[in-house]
Structure 1
Amino acid sequence: MQWTILGAGAIGSLFATHLLRTGQDVNLLDTRCARQHASHPMMLELLDGSFCMCELPCISHQAVSDLTLLLVTTKVWQVIPALEALVGKLPHSCPIVLLHNGMGPEEWLLTHFPQNPLLTGVTSCGAFKKDPHHIKHTGLGETWLGALNEAGTHYQSLIPPLANALGHAAWSDQIRERQWRKLVVNAIINPLTALYNQPNGMLSEHQAEVNALCEELHPLLIAESFTEPVTAWCEVIFKVAEQTAQNYSSMQQDLAHQRKTEIDYITGYLLQQAEKIGIKLPLHQDLYLKIKKLESTFTT
């Protein structure tokens, strides 16, 4: 099976280079390009400081009828626009795997690709793209995949090559639960670090704010069948912040580089789910509006 990766950002480039160096057949899909173009050179900086040079073949949207596996690693707000170009063109036999921050595009995918095997995943692998041709692996993490539809349940065979390439990968029959857990962590760490323009470790100086955000979110989490007390959620968030203390969140990086953030699919998704069941989240709403205001200074 050939791994076609759509979205050559930090995570997409990390997965592509690690899969390639462990013997997998990998290429990059550029849906904006009408013609196949030259391979994309990439230097992978490993955790031990060594370097590995890779040549990633690139294909255009004209080649999508031959795809055998599509791994989508774009920013979450880019998922639907990128896949819209493939509706009616992708073989029904081709699995589509979503791997992004936030939640929301899954519903659209189920509607527009109902015959394809559909999967989604979460990863805590750390990566930083220094420039278009240099990716740095900054931390080991866990990668989990799970099925979005019945056809997707037959693709647990994707796990061994991912585990071999990344150090950890596993299948989850409760992938939505794992998505929610990551969503909660992202919904607190990302906006706060972006607003304060500081690395993740800064959260230790704002414990009252983190506690209040967790407390406010707790009724929604109970409605989603999570049973942990507020203190447990706070502990998880502070642990993640401590483990990644020197890292800058993706939302902080997006604002620092005047890029659109993923706030609509992180905090925005939480606000939507809360509204459906009549729960108010004023603190999270305030964070959302502050990020959107900052975004509005450089996006249209």
Structure 2
Amino acid sequence: MQWTILGAGAVGSLFATHLQRSGQKVNLLDTRQPHRQQAKPMLLEQLDGSICMCELDCIGYQDLAQIGCLLVTTKVWQVTHALQPLVGLLPESCPIVLLHNGMGTAEWLTEHFPHNPLLAGVTSCGALKTDASHIKHTGFGETWLGALNAAGEQWQTLVSPLADALGHAAWSEHIQERQWQKLVVNAVINPLTAVYNQQSGILLQHQDEIAALCLELRPLLLQQGLTNTANEWQELVLQVVDRTAKNYSSMQQDIANRRRTEIDYITGYLLQQAEQNGLELPQHRALYLKIKALESQFVTA
């Protein structure tokens, strides 16, 4: 299998280096360029502190013959723009795997790549990209894949090489449910840590706020078929907070580094779904507006 990574951020770089180290063929795709570019060196700092060097080939949007499986790990708001150059050109046999925070891109993908095998992934692997060529593995996590269309069901074979590379990967027949679970966790942890500008562990001091946000979401989650109680959602969030207490969330890092956040596809997606279902989420809307206010200091429309 030739793995092609679109989006060499923290998670994309982590997957690329681990896949290559496990013996898989890996390259990076830049859809802003038509053809192959200079290979990219990458230093991987593993969980045990050991260091290894990888060199990853870089291809462009016209090098389609070199794409076996396309793993999309861009920021969620970059997905449609990054994939647009491949519309009508990517072979219909090539599977596309969406692996990003937030929700709202699967509909566009299904419309523009209707015949490709389409899959979604959810991962809790921790990664930090300290500079352009240095990736740090900050936490072991689970990775789940599932089909977004019938053709995607035929690609459960992708799980085995991912498991070899990452230590855990599995197939889910209920991937949308797992996406919603991660969405809830992200909608609480990411904006709160960005507002407080602290590591995730600070939220252990704000458990009342977490409880209120989880309680407010429950009517919407029930409409999505997710029957957890508000206390169970709170416990899930606190488990992640405890496990990642010394980590900085991606949204905190985006604000700290003056980058656009994924708030429109996390809390924004929840607000959109709530409105469609006749519900109000005032506390989540207040958090959303706080993040947009922080963004407005450096992101123009």
Residue 130 of structure 1: aligned partner: 130
Whole-angstrom distance in 2 between the partners of 1:293 and 1:130: 26
The amino acid that maps onto 1:58 is: C
Aligned partner of residue 48 in structure 1, secondary structure? coil
The amino acid that maps onto 1:11 is: V
Aligned partner of residue 27 in structure 2, secondary structure? strand
Residue 33 of structure 2: aligned partner: 33
Residue 153 of structure 2: aligned partner: 153
Normalising by structure 1, what TM-score? 0.99
Whole-angstrom distance in 2 between the partners of 1:23 and 1:188: 37
| Aligned 1:215-230 pairs, distance under 5 A | 215-230=215-230
Whole-angstrom distance in 2 between the partners of 1:166 and 1:139: 11
Give RMSD over aligned pairs.
0.8
1:121 matches 2:121: yes
CA contact (8 A) 1:67 1:91 kept: no
Whole-angstrom distance in 1 between the partners of 2:259 and 2:284: 21
1:20 matches 2:20: yes
CA offset at residue 65 of structure 1? 4.6
Whole-angstrom distance in 1 between the partners of 2:23 and 2:296: 44
Aligned length: 300
The amino acid that maps onto 1:287 is: L
CA offset at residue 61 of structure 1? 1.1
Whole-angstrom distance in 1 between the partners of 2:32 and 2:83: 11
The amino acid that maps onto 1:190 is: N
Whole-angstrom distance in 2 between the partners of 1:270 and 1:263: 10
Residue 296 of structure 2: aligned partner: 296
User: 1:273-293: per-residue Cα shift (whole Å, max 9, x none)?
Assistant: 111110000000111111011
The amino acid that maps onto 1:92 is: E
1:245 matches 2:260: no
| Aligned 1:114-263 pairs, distance under 5 A | 114-263=114-263
User: 1:11-63: per-residue Cα shift (whole Å, max 9, x none)?
Assistant: 00000000001100100001112331111000111111111110101111110
Residue 45 of structure 1: aligned partner: 45
Whole-angstrom distance in 1 between the partners of 2:128 and 2:67: 28
CA contact (8 A) 2:128 2:136 kept: yes
Name which of structure 1's ranges 271-280 and 56-65 shifts more when overlaid on structure 2. 56-65
1:84 matches 2:103: no
Aligned partner of residue 38 in structure 2, secondary structure? coil
The amino acid that maps onto 1:25 is: K
User: 1:81-115: per-residue Cα shift (whole Å, max 9, x none)?
Assistant: 00111101100010000000000000100000000
Whole-angstrom distance in 1 between the partners of 2:109 and 2:242: 35
CA offset at residue 238 of structure 1? 1.0
Residue 286 of structure 2: aligned partner: 286
The amino acid that maps onto 1:100 is: H
Residue 74 of structure 1: aligned partner: 74
CA contact (8 A) 1:5 1:28 kept: yes
CA contact (8 A) 1:34 1:61 kept: yes
Q: 1:66 to 1:43 in 2, by over 3 A?
A: closer
Name which of structure 1's ranges 142-151 and 130-139 shifts more when overlaid on structure 2. 130-139
Whole-angstrom distance in 2 between the partners of 1:146 and 1:109: 15
CA contact (8 A) 1:42 1:135 kept: yes
Whole-angstrom distance in 1 between the partners of 2:68 and 2:207: 47
CA contact (8 A) 2:34 2:63 kept: no
Normalising by structure 2, what TM-score? 0.98
Whole-angstrom distance in 2 between the partners of 1:227 and 1:5: 35
CA contact (8 A) 1:65 1:89 kept: no
Whole-angstrom distance in 1 between the partners of 2:35 and 2:109: 26
CA contact (8 A) 1:45 1:135 kept: yes
Aligned partner of residue 144 in structure 1, secondary structure? strand
Gaps of 5+ in 2: none
Aligned partner of residue 39 in structure 1, secondary structure? strand
Aligned partner of residue 38 in structure 1, secondary structure? strand
Residue 11 of structure 1: aligned partner: 11
